[in-house]
Chain A
């Protein structure tokens, strides 16, 4: 039996729309993962510090406000500065295709857009984290 996947979920920026991230949190938990939801208005340093401290396998970010092109790069930079690049960063929200491609190019493992089944995100995490641990 492999170790339980540990995921930190957070909402950065000023956006308060937390329906999606709570649904994700519940689905991950039901799928047997350990979920730490840090809540709203987390700054990139807060998120990365918490992720390092909690020794998580992945960080999941939800942004619906349109600030994704500022916040994802800021989190990536913070991960680099804190030597936390082994943690998988993924996210979701209202993110146009063009931006999604750009973010996946600069180091976000995956961006999930509206309508994605939670099962797809769960499978993605299991697969990718298993590969990384090999």
Chain B
């Protein structure tokens, strides 16, 4: 990229520059210059910092052009000039009726996609009237027990016109089955149904810990669903391979990148092992990353992710369809970066994080609400979060050109560094026996816990300043933003409703469908088709999961994963 002559001259200039800089270097405005991931950053990057600086072919092979292999600069040829990212705000609370109202509010405010948050009982495969659901119903998402709830959730929303993302993993098959049944009832053919299921069980073992079954049957649920969707719901993104939660649990940017992509490659390998053709399912895989506070580090992470995925899918897994090479991803700003102190400051944090997602070429974006460390977001906070994206899209001008930070010595050097460090992790994971072995052995969990603890120490030792938390504190601050509370009546109503559904359905049909599911679970048929039939008969999510728990057992975290650091 740069002539040898220039690089030599620059070397000499830098040596001289360094002598002068040394005089001022003694004074430092802060003790360390490091990223949010504790990575030390050089004071200056020049053409000499860039890998392949003296090699013309490097740019063509590793950076290239948007929409072309290896996609470092973006997955589409024209990016946001053709289509802005989808502004997809995650929402869900209380009863299906309440969330349905929130969905309609989001669509009316200009949101272009829906994203469903489910409550913990739904995520953990319990009906609302299960003893373990006590106090949790409708709290951090919407309660969905059966098809009847999904019908209310999407009441008045045309499933052929909206794309819906559902954040659910262990019980994802049931949620998708309910959703497809709603489409059936609306008369929308499955070919027109669009959306994404999170359905990433590996990161549950690693980070978010909402697991039900052991890894093997869990992966079977996923590969069965992938197979069904490839044939019948071709526009559905079957897995959103998620780094978000890995990051939230305390991982560094590189750990997020490496562990997420390692999970993704594990799904690819599992599907190939199950006999599926890589180019049949890989185009429907998508990713989900965090946007944390370190601006350039995040941008480099997204760029590195695209390059790593493209190279692996093409060379390691032999994918021939270009769509299989793409790392398309959703981004959400970092919940863990928000502070309970001076919560209005979070608006600014979210704006900077969202900007890094956009400059990193995200396909869709959720911006967090300022009040999320206090409770579920209020309507006003949700609106400000969405407006933040609209201001970036329409006022900042950053989408006018594609990948505007390409060619920055710093960003390119950081992108290369991220890629190399992720590759080093892939080697280590392989050496330890692969992703499943690393989960069983607690490797990921310990690595993440160690980073989380280091981060906390850095704050307490004031190496790292968090505004309002360990500096610039407002003494005696009183929080005066409205906090949304979930009425206790929600649980009472939801319990009554699931019992009513059970009382009014055709019991024989449910029994037959559940018996069939048990048979398939024991044998080798497609579990998703059996789950779809149970759903049509108004079998509940809890009934299906209980049955599978009986057949497959429950996963318990190994002690090695519970070690704090």
Q: Which A residues contact B (CB, under 8 angstroms)?
A: 13-19, 22-23, 25-27, 29, 35, 37, 39-41, 43, 65-67, 69-71, 94, 96-98, 113-115, 117-119
A19 to chain B, nearest CB (A): 5
Q: Mark B460-482, 1 if CB is under 8 A from A, else 0.
A: 10000010111000000001000
Q: Which residues of B contact A29 (CB under 8 A)?
A: 564
B471 to chain A, nearest CB (A): 12
Q: How far is the CA of A61 from the CA of B135 in the complex (A)?
A: 16
| Given A67-B136, A96-B375: A16 in contact with B456 (beta carbons within 8 A) | no
| Given A13-B135, A115-B339: A23 in contact with B453 (beta carbons within 8 A) | yes
Contact partner, A26, options B340, B453, B486, Cβ 8 Å: B453
Asked if B210 lies at the interface with its beta carbon under 8 angstroms from chain A, I say yes
Contact B139–A40 (Cβ < 8 Å)? no
Contact B120–A23 (Cβ < 8 Å)? no
Contact partner, B449, options A26, A35, A71, A98, Cβ 8 Å: A26
Contact B340–A118 (Cβ < 8 Å)? no
Q: Which residues of A contact B485 (CB under 8 A)?
A: 96
Q: Which residues of B contact A14 (CB under 8 A)?
A: 120-121, 123-124, 126, 132-133, 136, 210
B163 to chain A, nearest CB (A): 27
Contact A22–B209 (Cβ < 8 Å)? no
Q: How far is the CA of A29 from the CA of B208 in the complex (A)?
A: 24
Closest A residue, CB atoms, query B449: A22
Closest A residue, CB atoms, query B372: A94
Q: Which residues of A contact B448 (CB under 8 A)?
A: 19
The 3 A-B residue pairs whose C-beta atoms are closest, nearest first, are A70-B135, A16-B209, A66-B139
Contact B120–A65 (Cβ < 8 Å)? yes
Contact B460–A65 (Cβ < 8 Å)? no
Contact A94–B375 (Cβ < 8 Å)? yes
Q: Which residues of B contact A67 (CB under 8 A)?
A: 120, 134-136, 139
A40 to chain B, nearest CB (A): 6
Contact B340–A113 (Cβ < 8 Å)? yes
Asked if B336 lies at the interface with its beta carbon under 8 angstroms from chain A, I say yes
Q: Which B residues contact A (CB, under 8 angstroms)?
A: 120-121, 123-124, 126, 132-136, 139-140, 204, 208-211, 248-250, 336, 339-341, 373-376, 448-449, 452-453, 456, 459-460, 466, 468-470, 479, 483, 485-486, 557, 562, 564-565
Q: How far is the CA of A115 from the CA of B345 in the complex (A)?
A: 14
Known: A22-B453, A22-B562, A35-B564. 4 other contacts (CB 8 A): A13-B120, A70-B134, A94-B374, A98-B483
Q: How far is the CA of A94 from the CA of B343 in the complex (A)?
A: 13
Q: Which residues of B contact A40 (CB under 8 A)?
A: 209, 557
| Given A26-B565, A39-B562, A71-B135: A16 in contact with B373 (beta carbons within 8 A) | no
Q: How far is the CA of A96 from the CA of B376 in the complex (A)?
A: 10
Q: Of residues A19, A26, A70, which shows the largest number of chain B Cβ atoms within 10 Å of its Cβ? A: A19
Q: How far is the CA of A5 from the CA of B486 in the complex (A)?
A: 37
Q: How far is the CA of A16 from the CA of B245 in the complex (A)?
A: 11
Q: Which residues of A contact B209 (CB under 8 A)?
A: 16-18, 40
Closest B residue, CB atoms, query A28: B564
Q: How far is the CA of A127 from the CA of B469 in the complex (A)?
A: 23
Contact B339–A66 (Cβ < 8 Å)? no
Q: Which residues of B contact A17 (CB under 8 A)?
A: 208-209, 248-249
A8 to chain B, nearest CB (A): 13
Q: Of residues A22, A43, A65, A70, which shows the largest number of chain B Cβ atoms within 10 Å of its Cβ? A: A22
